[in-house]
Amino acid sequence: MSGGVAIAIAAAILVVWLRPDAWWVAAPFVMLWIASPAVAVWISRSPLLEGRLALTNPDAGALRLVARRTWRYFETFVTGG
């Protein structure tokens, strides 16, 4: 994602160079754009609740059924199986 950060920095430089009066409008967008790799890492982390929540047998069975139906849908309509 370093390319995105480089583009954001280049955009910031262009705004300051070409339209310095518009910097206050562009600043929040540039800062969010620069922060995007950190946000991506943060939302990709596994939740801290993993392994702490007990799953009952009926819940596990229901989840497996949903997973099988989802898999069958994609196998039927996406892969042409």
Domain boundaries, the chain: 1-44, 53-81
User: What is the per-residue pLDDT for 4?
Assistant: 86
The structure tokens 């059924």 sit at: 65
pLDDT tens string, the chain, 81 residues long: the values are 788 899 999 999 999 999 999 999 999 999 999 999 999 999 988 777 666 778 899 999 999 999 999 999 998 888 765
Which residue type sits at 73?
A: Y
User: What is the per-residue pLDDT for 51?
Assistant: 67
